[in-house]
């Protein structure tokens, strides 16, 4: 296998150090693997194949069942988090006492893991963070942390395909925001709940919730409300697109763009709000309404520098969808691989990524890069 790995790397024209950086291992480990001096497990070989953009079978030379260590861990911890949330009701307090600063530090860490698309890391720490939040004696401080933390729980669970578990996290987020009695927090929590609802195709209730939250927010003198209000416009545009009301959706996108032009780029509530975010939502809208070439034109003007990985991965996946829709198969594969490099856990479990890959396979695309990606997604190429 070491010879195959070296041949693939040299075919790409990459140094050992560069290839190793793509796989997330040291260059000395990569070199030892190539020389046959270090064994690889079934998890590492997937990372090596992803780094070389090929199939695991291309490296092993035999039938092989790949596994993804991080996704396996995420699925285990998704169930653990579900049980933890069930055992820690909003109406009661955890028996585990905790200090406010300790909880805040851990919440910041978890939000950072989510921003990097490390859902396995976030879910693992959430199992302990949830009861710690509920163990705070300062109830208002606890509620202030619960809104973003349960939002991260919702996003992580949804991203690894646990929508029912994500719904409980979203409901907790809404309940905490209501008890916190802050219309901005309520707006964020409502957008989280609506995201889970729309994921399952329930656009009508999602839109109604966001309409109500936006009305309350518009009437509130609360500071920091504009970016959240703008985000609710984006959410409603998505819901209306799902309901086939293009004109109304366009109106919300236009209003979101006006707000973003006024606020500029912000990072409150982990929304990554601003003109770039609006452009990426417009990309998705154009794709969903059958205009992939227009979506690609919008994408050309988006600068990803400084955006969190969790936003970048959606950009590359949507660009891959658009390229596939216009028949640019090789470009579509490159975009899917770019998404995988930015957020491997996200890309390998994404419904849209898997559907794009399936569409490419149905059309007869059979490149080694696509076969490798499909293998890592556990999609058959037959």
For the chain, 382 residues long, give each residue's pLDDT as a single digit of tens: 888 899 889 988 899 999 999 888 899 999 999 988 887 777 788 888 888 888 777 887 766 656 678 888 898 999 999 999 999 988 766 556 678 999 999 999 999 999 999 999 999 999 999 999 998 989 999 999 999 999 999 999 999 989 999 999 999 999 999 999 899 999 999 999 999 999 989 999 999 999 999 999 888 765 558 999 999 999 999 999 999 999 999 999 999 999 999 999 998 899 999 999 999 999 999 999 999 999 999 999 999 999 999 999 999 999 999 999 999 999 999 999 999 999 999 999 998 999 999 999 988 888 888 988 888 888 876 5
Distance CA 206, CA 202 (A): 7
Q: What is the pLDDT of residue 224?
A: 57
Q: Which two tokens stand for residue 257?
A: 């763009």
* pTM metric for this prediction: 0.84
**Quick check: 154 and 169 in contact, CB under 8 A?**
yes
Sign of CA pseudo-dihedral 30, 32, 36, 37? negative
- The domain limits of the chain are 2-60, 68-181
Q: What is the pLDDT of residue 47?
A: 84
**Quick check: 96 and 131 in contact, CB under 8 A?**
yes
**Quick check: 147 and 189 in contact, CB under 8 A?**
yes
CATH topology of domain 2-60: 434 Repressor (Amino-terminal Domain) (1.10.260)
**Quick check: 249 and 285 in contact, CB under 8 A?**
yes
Distance CA 220, CA 259 (A): 16
Residue with tokens 């990097």: 116
Q: Tell me the DSSP string of 124-158.
A: HHHHHHHHHHHT-S-HHHHHHHHHHHHHHHHHHHH
Distance CA 151, CA 174 (A): 9
Q: What is the pLDDT of residue 331?
A: 95
Select from 102, 99, 96, 107 the least CA-distant residue to 146: 107
Residue with tokens 């919300």: 252
Q: What is the pLDDT of residue 145?
A: 95
Q: Cα angle at 356 between 355 and 362, to 5 degrees?
A: 85
* Contact partners, residue 308, CB within 8 Å, separation at least 6: 115, 116, 270, 272
User: In this structure, how many other beta carbons lie within 10 angstroms of the beta carbon of residue 105?
Assistant: 11
Give me the helix-helix angle, 44-52 and 368-376, nearest 10°: 150
Q: What is the pLDDT of residue 63?
A: 60
Residue 221, phi then psi, degrees to nearest 5: -85, 10
Q: What is the pLDDT of residue 332?
A: 96
């Amino acid at each position: 296998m070491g010879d195959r790995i070296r041949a693939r790397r040299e075919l790409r024209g990459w140094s050992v150090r560069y290839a190793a950086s793509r796989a997330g291992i040291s260059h000395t480990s990569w070199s030892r693997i190539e020389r046959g001096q270090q064994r690889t497990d079934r998890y590492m070989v997937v990372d090596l194949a992803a780094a070389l953009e090929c199939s695991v079978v291309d490296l092993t030379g035999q039938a092989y069942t790949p596994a993804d260590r991080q996704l396996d861990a995420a699925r285990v911890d998704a169930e653990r988090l579900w049980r933890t949330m069930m055992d820690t009701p909003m109406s009661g307090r955890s028996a585990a006492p905790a200090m406010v600063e300790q909880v805040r530090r851990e919440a910041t860490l978890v939000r950072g893991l989510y921003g990097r698309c490390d859902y396995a890391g976030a879910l693992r720490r959430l199992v302990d963070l949830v009861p710690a939040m509920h163990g705070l004696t300062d109830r208002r401080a606890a509620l202030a942390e619960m809104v973003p933390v349960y939002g991260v729980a919702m996003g992580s669970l949804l991203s690894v395909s646990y929508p029912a578990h994500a719904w409980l996290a979203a409901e907790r987020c809404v309940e905490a925001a209501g008890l916190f009695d802050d219309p901005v927090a309520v707006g964020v929590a409502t957008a989280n709940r609506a995201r889970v609802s729309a994921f399952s195709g329930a656009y009508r209730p999602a839109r109604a919730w966001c309409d109500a939250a936006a009305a309350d927010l518009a009437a509130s003198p609360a500071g920091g409300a504009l970016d959240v209000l703008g985000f609710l416009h984006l959410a409603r545009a998505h819901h209306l697109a799902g309901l086939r009301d293009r004109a109304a959706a366009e109106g919300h996108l236009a209003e979101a763009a006006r707000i973003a032009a006024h606020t500029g780029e912000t990072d409150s509530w982990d929304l990554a709000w601003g003109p770039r975010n609006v452009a990426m939502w417009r990309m998705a809208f154009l794709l969903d309404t059958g205009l992939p070439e227009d979506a690609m034109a919008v994408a050309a003007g988006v600068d990803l520098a400084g955006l969190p990985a969790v936003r970048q991965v959606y950009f590359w996946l949507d660009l891959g969808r658009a390229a596939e829709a216009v028949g640019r198969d090789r470009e579509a594969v490159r975009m899917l691989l770019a998404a995988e490099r930015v957020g491997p856990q996200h890309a390998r479990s994404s419904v849209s990524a898997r559907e794009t890959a399936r569409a490419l396979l149905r059309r007869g695309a059979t490149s080694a890069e696509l076969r490798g990606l499909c293998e890592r997604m556990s999609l058959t190429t037959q």
